[in-house]
């Protein structure tokens, strides 16, 4: 099996770090993580592999074109897996500028750096090179609650500044393939969950708020439907695509686990009732579920048709929603040191002081 050198942008994030851990532990490939280390980048999430000889890290803003070009020249990757992005919808509503800068301008600068690098390679190296752009199902917009699914040909109809910026980045990647011949792959995934997820997202937020005795916020009526994908299943899919995917193609990745947000919160509470001691006088953690004002423009349903990647590349999720959620709760219960450092900001203070490798 050919050994690859893979540059992963955003590799200190939730999905990126899962991908790095997979590649280092389960393949012979080498990885360089390129990450700006914003609030969502956490080197603690890479600590299981950070001392491995096939792992390297470089602090990098993908909007810095010269730094990108230098990194490509220094590392000489066979593949780029592009996960660097601003990704939280609420933050995009409050401050869209960062999403435009990182997700659109940053992707453009990466594409240009990659194009120049790819064009400098000899023919065998060019044939080996891939740029894999990792995106979201939110680019497809709101899906009617009629049993339909997002396919790779579903028209784009983004609803939030976040999803609009990701839709724009997808279009740029396709344009660089069509116009310049850059060998690209695109994947669009459903909602991820699992270990090492930043606590602003629904599942870790509910877990940690419950443990702290705080209200468990659920937007609106809680009837929004999402398709949930265990992050380690997603990482396996991403690696399968970069290794075996067809150049120029898009692959949707979903867990096949549609759940209403209120059902997710209730299932988490039932698991916590079983696995974590409840405070005296508390019958169930679910007693603290609190409905809060809905997010502006909140999509009601997302659901992925993952048939293409299953048929063509042989990928299947290994976790059901129940098994993945149980593993997730158990991980947070047994990794208090990780999330405490996130909550008190110490993980980020060290990175800002230049203590990253």
In the residue annotation, 90 being an active-site residue is answered as no
Question: What does pLDDT average to in each consecutive run of 10 residues of the chain (357 residues)?
Answer: 90 98 98 95 97 97 97 98 93 94 97 98 97 97 85 96 97 98 98 95 96 94 95 98 98 96 97 89 90 91 96 97 98 97 87 47
Average pLDDT, the chain: 94
User: Choosing from 86, 138, 170, 299, which is the catalytic residue?
Assistant: 138
Residue 91 corresponds to which tokens in the numbers above?
A: 């933050």
How would you list the strands of the sheet with 130-136, edge to edge? 55-59, 30-35, 5-9, 79-82, 130-136, 184-189, 250-253
- Give tens-digit pLDDT for 42-74: 999 999 999 999 999 999 999 999 999 999 999
Q: Which of 162, 196, 285, 302 is catalytic?
A: 162
pLDDT in tens, 238-247: 999 999 999 9
Nearest CA to 156 among 174, 144, 170?
Answer: 170
pLDDT of residue 357: 37
Asked whether the beta carbons of 76 and 5 are under 8 A apart, the reply is yes
**Between 161-180 and 107-120, two packed helices, what is the crossing angle to 10 degrees?**
20
Q: Is 117 marked active-site?
A: no
Element (H, E) at 251: strand 250-253
What domains are there in the chain, each with its CATH number?
5-198+230-260+296-322 (3.40.50.720)
In the chain, DSSP finds a helix count (H) and a strand count (E) of 14, 12
Name the active-site residue from 61, 137, 227, 258: 137
User: Concatenated DSSP letters for 53-114?
Assistant: TTEEEEE--TT-HHHHHHHHHHH--SEEEE------HHHHHH-THHHIIIIIIIHHHHHHHH
Q: Is 294 a catalytic residue?
A: no
How are beta strands 216-219 and 184-189 bridged, if at all? unpaired
Give 303's contacts (C-beta < 8 A, 6+ positions apart): 143, 148, 149, 150, 190, 225, 227, 254, 258
Question: How much is the pLDDT for 355?
Answer: 44
The structure tokens listed for 29 are 């490939």
- pLDDT computed for residue 249 by the predictor: 98
pLDDT at 141: 94
Determine if the pTM surpasses 0.85: yes
């Amino acid at each position: 099996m050919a050994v690859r050198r893979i540059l992963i942008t955003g590799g200190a994030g939730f999905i990126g770090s899962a991908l790095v851990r997979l590649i280092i532990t389960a393949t012979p490939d080498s990885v360089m993580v390129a990450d700006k280390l914003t609030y969502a980048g956490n080197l603690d999430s890479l600590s299981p592999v950070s001392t491995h000889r096939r792992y390297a890290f470089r602090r990098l803003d993908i909007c810095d074109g010269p730094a990108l070009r230098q990194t490509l020249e220094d590392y000489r990757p066979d593949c780029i897996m592009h996960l660097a992005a601003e990704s939280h919808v609420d933050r995009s509503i409050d401050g869209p500028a960062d999403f435009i800068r990182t997700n659109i301008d940053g992707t453009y600068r990466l594409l240009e750096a990659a194009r120049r690098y790819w064009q400098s390679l000899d023919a065998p190296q060019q044939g080996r090179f891939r740029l894999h752009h990792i995106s979201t199902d939110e680019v497809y917009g709101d899906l009617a609650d009629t049993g339909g699914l997002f396919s790779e040909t579903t028209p784009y109809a983004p609803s939030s500044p976040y999803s609009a910026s990701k839709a724009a980045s997808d279009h740029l990647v396709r344009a660089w393939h069509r116009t310049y011949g850059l060998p690209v792959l695109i994947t669009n995934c459903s909602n991820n969950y699992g270990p090492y997820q930043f606590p602003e997202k629904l599942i870790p937020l509910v877990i940690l708020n419950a443990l702290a005795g705080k209200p468990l916020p659920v937007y609106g009526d809680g009837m929004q439907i999402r398709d949930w994908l265990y992050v380690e299943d997603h990482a396996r899919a991403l690696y399968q695509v970069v290794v075996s995917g067809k150049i120029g193609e898009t692959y949707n990745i979903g867990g096949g686990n549609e759940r209403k947000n209120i059902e997710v919160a209730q299932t988490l509470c039932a698991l916590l009732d079983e696995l974590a001691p409840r405070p005296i006088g508390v019958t169930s953690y679910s007693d603290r579920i609190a409905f809060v004002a809905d997010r502006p423009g909140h999509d009601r349903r997302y659901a992925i048709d993952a048939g293409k990647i299953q048929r063509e590349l042989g990928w299947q999720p290994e976790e059901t929603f129940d098994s993945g959620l149980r593993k997730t709760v158990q991980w947070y219960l047994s990794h208090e040191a990780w999330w405490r450092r996130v909550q008190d900001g110490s993980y980020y203070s060290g990175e800002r002081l230049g203590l990253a490798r």
